[in-house]
Structure 1
Amino acid sequence: MPAPPTPTDLTAARAALVADDPALAKADAVVPPFEWRARTGGFAGLLRMIVEQQVSLASAAAIWKRVVEGLDGVLTPEAVMARDVAALRGMGLSIQKATYAHEIARAQVEGRIDFHHLERLSDAEAVARLTAIKGVGLWTAETFLMFCEGRLDVFPGGDIALQEAMKWADGLAARPNAKAAYARAEAWRPHRAVAAHLLWAWYGLVKRGDATV
């Protein structure tokens, strides 16, 4: 997995973003320096993203702990395939998530995706390869490439928090839909993922009452 961007990289990218698009200046002024949201990559990283989706942070941590223990710490496609859906459900997964875990594992075993060499693909190719797996949606694929592979120019335009922060940045009456968000983010190439981190951080500050729109 490529190394995530350094603090120096992020500072330079933020400066470039604000210089190119003053609409981001308000967010940049209140968001302190941040680190990249780096996460474990590969098969285990995608499996964990699926396991943790749509549950609270506390529940996600507890369920993931049970999954790791249930797989005896062996986080491989083969280990997942060796457990049936009932066994995976016993680890705290829903039927849907257990099925998706099998789908991801089967895709690696059958060679439809190779997590060891995913970094060799372009962003678009990697997204297409990931979303071809049942259970892996566009948002999951994009955030996986951001957090687990450190890709700097991926933007999850369907993310509601990002859309809300984009509304604030541009002074819009309503937040943009996914299509409009993707189009707007084109102005932030080749640092769209850094812009996403900046907007997420701003959104968090505003929601906590530590910053204003």
Structure 2
Amino acid sequence: MWRLLSNPRPSATSQLCCRAWITISAESRAPSPREAQRKNAEAMKPVQDMLRAAGIADEAIKTIFYDLQPDWDYSDNRRVLRGYVASNAIDVRIDNVDRVGELLDMAVTAGATSVQNIRFDLKDREKVEREALRLAVADARARATAAAAGAGMSVDRIIKIDEQRVSSPPPVPLARATFAAAQAAPPIAAGSMEVRVLRDLIRACGPCGLAARMHTNPFKALARAIVGQQLSAKAAATIFSRFEALYESFPTPAQVLATPDDRLRGVGLSSQKLRYLKDLCKHLEEGQLPLDALHQMGDEAVIETLTRVKGVGRWTAEMFLIFRLQRPDVLPVGDLGIVNAVRRAYKLRKAPSPDRLRRIGEAWRPYRSVACWYLWASLNNEPTKD
């Protein structure tokens, strides 16, 4: 009997890009802040009007940056105010990539001072990923059959197929260009993309270890999360082990409530975390927090229920979803480890914002929790609230 895992060499499917994003901005200078704002509005309005006239829908145009700052000059070690600079940037989605060059030229002609961060992606990413998965499984089966034949055996049936993946973040940055003026539409080629089912993180880290991290006691999972807030994994583990050592076995909420505050502070709990922990115990003792019913709720309902407790924020609730309820599709954008790992893995110049992290994480659905485990593993780290 042969055990088949869908873990062959990275299988890929190629698809022409059919959607693009560009960032268009305008910068204006003037002696006063009001004049700088007015000039900037006069520069950007024709650009947006042009885009709409060219058939770009309002929902495909999004303001991503607006800034008004003094413009300083330095002379003889003195700071001199030259005026003010107003900047406005919009992100534009173009569903027909053949028009990218045309729209770049039109934007500059209309008054944009910068066009940059051109990205391309697939319009139907899920379809291509499913095809990539089909090819990966077919390849795995073919290699298993060849291996079995070499050993004088044959594949009888498939016992298990493990799908583990971390996909490239959409959209993929391809170019950066700034135009002061243009005589003709710039040539822009979308090229082709590969959507791979298996990526470097999975090959480097091996099988996902989320199941091994599951907390069987929901009260213990929440207490552990509260203790670990704003602490390194090592410090949190030390304090929590001291807390557990106060009792013969892991305590009930009633036992924690009956423990004098000075004893709890003695293990390293701050006054704030002590209040949070006892508020959790009070909710449980009074029946205000139905832990046994949480597994029947959706993710957002669980978060809404848990965050009623003092000290249980969204990050803590998300850790509970991942490590206690084993929910497969949770993305804690407030986790510092995830932010740092994504920045390193995707070679970003700066830490991704929550919105950008969510956009990147769309490629990981419906297994964003699994992707997070690999990101934590890539740092040899554990969840850390930002």
User: Shorter chain as normaliser: what TM range?
Assistant: 0.7 to 0.9
Unaligned runs of 5+ in 1: 1-7, 206-213
Residue 30 in structure 1 maps to residue 204 in structure 2 = yes
Q: TM-score, normalised by structure 1?
A: 0.78
**Greater share of residues in helix:** 1
User: In the TM superposition, what whole-angstrom CA distance separates every residue of 1:6-25 from its partner, at most 9, and x where no partner exists?
Assistant: xx99941x14x449954972
Tell me the CA shift for residue 45 of structure 1: 1.6
**Greater share of residues in strand:** 2
Is the 8 Å Cα contact of residues 24 and 169 (structure 1) preserved in structure 2? no
2:285 counterpart (101, 106, 109) = 109
Partner of 1:131: 307
Partner of 1:155: 331
Q: Residues of 2 paired with 1:159 and 1:32: CA distance? A: 22
Q: Residues of 1 paired with 2:273 and 2:319: CA distance? A: 18
- Higher relative contact order (Cα pairs below 8 Å, separated by 6+ residues): 1
Per the alignment, do residues 23 and 164 of structure 1 end up closer, same or farther by CA in structure 2, a change over 3 Å counting? farther
1:97 counterpart (248, 264, 273) = 273
Query: Which of these two proteins has the greater Rg computed from alpha carbons?
Result: 2
- What root-mean-square deviation, in Å, do the aligned CA atoms of Structure 1 and Structure 2 show? 2.9
Alignment of 1:194-205 (within 5 A): 194-204=370-380
Partner of 2:108: none
Amino acid at match of 1:81: L
Pairs aligned (count): 196
- SS of match in other structure, 2:379: helix
Identity of counterpart residues, as a percentage?
34
Is the 8 Å Cα contact of residues 85 and 99 (structure 1) preserved in structure 2? no
Tell me the CA shift for residue 188 of structure 1: 1.7
1:164 counterpart (340, 365, 369) = 340
Is the 8 Å Cα contact of residues 163 and 175 (structure 1) preserved in structure 2? yes
Is the 8 Å Cα contact of residues 21 and 187 (structure 1) preserved in structure 2? no
Is the 8 Å Cα contact of residues 89 and 95 (structure 1) preserved in structure 2? yes
Q: Residues of 2 paired with 1:41 and 1:154: CA distance? A: 20
Amino acid at match of 1:25: R
Unaligned runs of 5+ in 2: 1-158, 169-193, 382-386
Per the alignment, do residues 142 and 79 of structure 1 end up closer, same or farther by CA in structure 2, a change over 3 Å counting? same
Per the alignment, do residues 10 and 57 of structure 1 end up closer, same or farther by CA in structure 2, a change over 3 Å counting? farther
User: In the TM superposition, what whole-angstrom CA distance separates every residue of 1:103-153 from its partner, at most 9, and x where no partner exists?
Assistant: 111121223211122111111111111122111122111112111221111
Partner of 1:63: 239
Is the 8 Å Cα contact of residues 40 and 148 (structure 1) preserved in structure 2? yes
